[in-house]
Structure 1
Amino acid sequence: MRHHRNVRPRTTAAVTAVVAALAATTLSVGTATAAPADRCSQAAPTRADNPYTTTHTVLSDAPLRKGPYRECDWLQTYPAQSTVEVRCFIVNDYGNTWSYVPGAGWVWDSHLSSNGSPHRCLF
């Protein structure tokens, strides 16, 4: 009996440590994926680092957003068949490319002819 009493507290302590580690991991993963506000504060690429612009036709109504994610605040919509000038593009966490409209915001490249800007943004 004495042997079992000594094993049980160690086992309980080990299980408690594993549960705590899993909980911490789950919380950190949840925090990383649920922070659209951070992702929507994407810095604007400067003209000095990105001196080019290209003009594209809007293929379907294209929402202009504050950041390169659908969750980011909507600013306006470019109607289909209009044209828009973009400076460069970035790839967001989902693997989608978004082009920067100078002085305005971000447009998802699937809405633009030639899939948006051919120039990767430099920061």
Structure 2
Amino acid sequence: QARGALTPPVLSPTLPPRPPQQQQQPSADDNKDRQQHADAPTSGSRLLDEVFALRRENAQLRAEAQRENREAEVLAAAVGRLEAVASEQRGTIETLEVTVEELRGQLSAADDARQAAVDDAGTVRE
């Protein structure tokens, strides 16, 4: 016989031949597990799905952050304009306060002059 050639098994006369093996019927739980495993995506595709989902979420968060940044820039510009207007108005108020003080001084001087004129007129009548 050639080396490596297959030879039929030698049966011992003392051992009875093996009965044919019966196939065990899978239990309902086994069938359920097999079906779930068959339906479930492989771990690689599941990870890939998670990666894509995370990328989509990341893109959405970036877009939202960009919108919020633009809104913040618009608000900051509006605040800057309001501060400029407020500063201008403070300057106007200060100018008006000075003008009011000057007018009070002029009014007081005019009142003093009027009073002096009244006093002089009274002195002339007497």
Q: TM-score, normalised by structure 2?
A: 0.33
Specify which structure has the higher proportion of helix.
2
Q: TM-score, normalised by structure 1?
A: 0.34
Say which structure, 1 or 2, has more relative contact order (CA 8 Å, 6+ apart).
Answer: 1
